């Protein structure tokens, strides 16, 4: 009987030790699993953080590149295309046939001398806005510098009507330079037809410039057209 009791106790003790060992092993496995899960979560968080940072940097870089391109191709005062932007815009046109227009603000030096350059800048901004409101979506307008603008019109007819709208678009209403300062501003326009922009731009520009001179001679607030094509 004593042997039997001793055997029962021995078996019970072994069972308890086995269960205890199993619990300890389970706890170790559970702890290791939790630790691995934490490490994995940290790595995933770090990975997605890197992706987020990379995405933000990529967007900032793209935005900076776009801003640099915009700055390089646009006039900072009027927001119109500059000479470089004008040439870039023309480079993607499939059929660069139509008319080249040079638009010049009449007596702009007198405006600057009378009212100051800050008000002269306001005139440039308002003229650019009024010209832009007249040209069509397929046309290209740019400020070449000073008080001179250039417009490519992708049409070979009704140029007189467009030129007349440009003149009236600028002169129809006074320019408000300040709350108590308003002036009348006009422009003159020289026009030349052009068959191929890249081959004939320089000669078309010279013809349009000569036409501009004629418009100025006629009394300003006028347009003149060169009848000969640049070929």
Respond yes or no: is residue 147 known to be catalytic: yes
Residue pair 151/139 in contact by the 8 Å Cβ criterion: yes
Marked catalytic residue, from 147, 156, 173, 214: 147
d(CA 60, CA 72): 18
DSSP 90-154: HHT-S---EEEEEEEETTHHHHHHHH-HHHHHHHHHHHHHHHHHHS-TTSEEEEEETTEEEEEE-
**What tokens appear for 104 in the block?**
């010049």
Length of the chain: 231
**What tokens appear for 55 in the block?**
């995405």
| Residues annotated as catalytic (active site), given as ranges | 147
């Amino acid at each position: 009987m004593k042997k039997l009791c001793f055997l029962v106790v021995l078996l019970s003790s072994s069972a308890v030790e086995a269960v205890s060992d199993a619990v300890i092993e389970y706890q170790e496995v559970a702890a290791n699993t939790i630790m691995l899960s934490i490490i994995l979560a940290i790595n995933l968080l770090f990975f997605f953080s890197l992706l987020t940072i990379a995405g933000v940097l990529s967007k900032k870089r793209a935005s900076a590149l776009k801003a640099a391109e915009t700055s390089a191709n646009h006039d900072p005062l009027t927001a119109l295309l500059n000479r470089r932007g004008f040439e870039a815009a023309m480079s993607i046109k499939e059929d660069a046939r139509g008319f080249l227009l040079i638009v010049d603000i009449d007596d702009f030096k007198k405006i600057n001398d009378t009212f100051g350059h800050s008000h002269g800048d306001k005139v440039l901004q308002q003229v650019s806005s009024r010209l832009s409101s007249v040209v069509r979506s397929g046309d290209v307008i740019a400020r070449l510098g000073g008080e001179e603008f250039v417009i490519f019109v992708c049409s070979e007819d009704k140029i007189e009507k467009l030129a007349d709208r440009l003149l009236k678009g600028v002169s129809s209403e006074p320019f408000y330079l300040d709350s108590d300062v308003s002036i009348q501003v006009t422009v003159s326009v020289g026009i030349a037809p052009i068959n191929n922009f890249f081959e004939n731009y320089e000669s078309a520009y010279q013809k349009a410039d000569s036409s501009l001179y004629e418009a100025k001679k006629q009394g300003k607030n006028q347009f003149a057209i060169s009848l000969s094509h640049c070929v």
